[in-house]
Structure 1
Amino acid sequence: MTDEHAQRFSELRPLLFTIAYEILGSATESDDVLQDSYLRWAQVDLTQVRDVKSYLASLVTRQALNALRAGARRREEYIGPWLPEPLLLTEQDASSDVVLAESVSMAMLVVLETLGPDERAVFVLRDVFGFDYDEIAAAIGKTEAAARQVAHRARGHVQARRPRYTPVAPAESARITAEFMTAAAGGDLTTVLSMLAPDVVWTADSGGKASAARRPIVGADKVARTVIGLLRQGAQLPDIRVELGVCNSAPAVLLYSADHLEGVFTFEIVDGLITNFYAMRNPDKLAAVAAAREITRGADV
């Protein structure tokens, strides 16, 4: 490993992490992929690399696909709904890059989870990051024509399932989240209901390792009562603490008992109403929230 190897990789790390995370839906696995890719990069003769960004993106994509395929059985046997690991972000203003904000949203990552591995990688590389088809073909080990076919198929699949996405100004998100939490913590059912879309959905991921609903809860009344009940239970935890943050480019509530993170609850807001809650209770996945991450679709190299 030379200083130049390290510098080039470091410059591209936020981009490479974002690619891996969107393919895997796991910050923990993405870190592992980047570590393995870094070690492989150390053995590369830089005089033979014409485009460092393209080369490293291909390398990370291949390693991410290996990890995705290796974990397929674990996901099939997962207890209850599977959600991506929450991604605590350093950048709170999603409006600066709407494509990036949507691509890491919980709703989009759940849609991407329904794609096959190659479809997911191709969609991410082409529609999110704008790589050329020859670069994508090299990354997935297919011909350029095949990569175009995979992209067309993946795009159609995503378009058919893509939820409506409208970026919300950070100040507005923070206001709605704070008002909702105040009303729910106070047991104000009327106010809570007024802030929910009629078909709002509550989806919880515990992996069978924490108390959580094992099926999505649908409808304003059911979701409102669920949230109020959970906050009432949470208030009984020792040294309870609530923090507001941004996860996956959306407002989020982080619930702590003393210094232990009990859950991350992400809000999805459309037209001023909350349309989805994503509740992460799996302690294995909560470990990824320990540090804020920088994500990007570009790179200055």
Structure 2
Amino acid sequence: MRDLATEFQAERGRLLAVAYRMLGSRSEAEDAVQETWLRYAAALADPAARAEIRDLGAWLTTACARICLDVLRSARVRREAYPGQWLPEPVVTPLDEGPRADGFAPDPAERAVRADQVGTALMVVLERLTPEQRVAFVLHDVFAVPFTRIAEVLGTTDAAARQLASRARRAVQAPDAPRHTADTGEQRRVLAAFVAAVESGKLEALVRVLAPDVIVIGDSGGHFPAARRPVVGPDAAARFVLGLFGRAGRYGGTLRARPVLVDGAVGLQLETVHSDGRPLRVVAALAVAGGRVTGIFSQLNPEKLRDLTPLESRDDWPPRW
């Protein structure tokens, strides 16, 4: 007798990675994978449907992608009404990529994100795409799914699926898209320089760490004051960042920080106190290219940080490496 749970569990990590890349929301990705499991179980209960499952991984990917496509189409309306700028729910893991302090290994979704090393920069660009373009790009360019199967997901032809992926690729490679090409070693060096420049409080020191086309985006979900539009350019970005860190130090709360991986790229987890006395938690992802910071993506919406492991008293500012 087939062990459905074991068969599905072997595919779960990859399905979570596919769904997260498409949806930008870990909770929505987990819901999509759960719905995929329900459809799989129902298919196995139907002899005719079970006979169609020749390649389990491919069948599950197709089912999950169709679910994600429906979610994306409905999410588009929600995100147009979203207060301020939108960023994905971050997947935060230890910088050393080793076991957690509690002794448990990262879950499949976190391992998948680490393996892909995609980063928040790409997730931000994916938000520019139509649902169909996003599905085609993620399936083909990130997970190497053939266009024949992508066409089945989208209910279109192979040629149309190729065109959707091509348009998505052009958007991802557009000149105004945040660039993130550095390996982990370079990311660490640039993050250390960024922290040192912020700690110095000198505008010119921070400007030197930032790329000419640097962009700063913050997502508070309306819970905290945040810039409603991206801050662009090294001078404006440096002033904005120094202002944020300066205010954090003036509000009487202890600023805590820890270097982490955010969606597979180097970043910071921060905790402080807002001016109204509320605790403020931030996950800042950095995009790095050419030895400089090209993007700073700060997630401070508490609804997207519910599963974040709290920092400890030893995680003081400036962060320890």
What range describes the TM-score normalised by the shorter chain of this pair?
Answer: 0.7 to 0.9
Deviation of 1:91 after TM superposition, in Å, equals: 8.1
TM-superposition CA deviations, 1:151-201 (whole Å, max 9, x none): 344334444465544232x33322321332233134133322221223322
- The structure 2 residue matched to 1:107, chosen from 101, 115, 121, is 121
Q: Which residue of 1 aligns with 2:63?
A: 59
Matched to 1:155, the amino acid is R
Q: Residue 266 of structure 1 aligns to a residue in which SS?
A: strand
Q: Which residue of 2 aligns with 1:140?
A: 154
Alignment check: 8 A CA contact 1:98 1:167 kept = no
Alignment check: 8 A CA contact 1:185 1:232 kept = no
**1:150 to 1:244, Cα distance in 2 relative to 1, 3 A:** same
Q: Which residue of 2 aligns with 1:234?
A: 248
Deviation of 1:248 after TM superposition, in Å, equals: 2.1
Q: Which residue of 2 aligns with 1:275?
A: 294
1:123 and 2:137 are equivalent in the alignment: yes
Q: Which residue of 1 aligns with 2:224?
A: 210
Q: Which residue of 1 aligns with 2:317?
A: none
Q: Which residue of 1 aligns with 2:27?
A: 28
The 4+ residue runs of structure 1 with deviation greater than 6 A are: 90-93
Q: Which residue of 2 aligns with 1:71?
A: 75
Alignment check: 8 A CA contact 1:86 1:285 kept = yes
1:19 and 2:8 are equivalent in the alignment: no
Alignment check: 8 A CA contact 2:197 2:205 kept = yes
Q: Which residue of 1 aligns with 2:303?
A: 284
TM-superposition CA deviations, 1:45-73 (whole Å, max 9, x none): 25542101100101111111121122221
**1:220 to 1:154, Cα distance in 2 relative to 1, 3 A:** closer
Q: Which residue of 1 aligns with 2:90?
A: 86
Matched to 2:75, the amino acid is G
**1:7 to 1:261, Cα distance in 2 relative to 1, 3 A:** farther
Q: Structure 2, unaligned stretches of length 5 or more?
A: 45-49, 98-112, 274-278, 311-321
Deviation of 1:43 after TM superposition, in Å, equals: 2.1
Q: Residue 266 of structure 2 aligns to a residue in which SS?
A: strand
Quote the Cα distance in structure 2 between the aligned partners of 1:237 and 1:3. Answer: 59
Deviation of 1:77 after TM superposition, in Å, equals: 0.7
Alignment check: 8 A CA contact 1:89 1:246 kept = yes
Alignment check: 8 A CA contact 1:115 1:154 kept = yes
Alignment check: 8 A CA contact 1:183 1:192 kept = yes
TM-superposition CA deviations, 1:196-239 (whole Å, max 9, x none): 22332211111221121111112222211221221122233534
- The structure 1 residue matched to 2:263, chosen from 248, 253, 260, is 248
Quote the Cα distance in structure 2 between the aligned partners of 1:17 and 1:179. Answer: 34
**1:136 to 1:288, Cα distance in 2 relative to 1, 3 A:** farther
C-alpha RMSD of matched pairs (Å): 2.8
Q: Which residue of 2 aligns with 1:297?
A: none
Higher relative contact order (CA 8 A, sep 6+): 1
Alignment check: 8 A CA contact 1:207 1:282 kept = yes
**1:290 to 1:14, Cα distance in 2 relative to 1, 3 A:** farther
Q: Residue 92 of structure 2 aligns to a residue in which SS?
A: coil
Deviation of 1:30 after TM superposition, in Å, equals: 0.5
Deviation of 1:90 after TM superposition, in Å, equals: 6.3
**Identity percentage over the alignment?**
37
Deviation of 1:252 after TM superposition, in Å, equals: 0.9
Q: Residue 136 of structure 1 aligns to a residue in which SS?
A: helix
**1:153 to 1:226, Cα distance in 2 relative to 1, 3 A:** closer
**1:146 to 1:99, Cα distance in 2 relative to 1, 3 A:** farther
Q: Residue 238 of structure 1 aligns to a residue in which SS?
A: coil
Quote the Cα distance in structure 2 between the aligned partners of 1:160 and 1:221. Answer: 23
Q: Residue 65 of structure 2 aligns to a residue in which SS?
A: helix
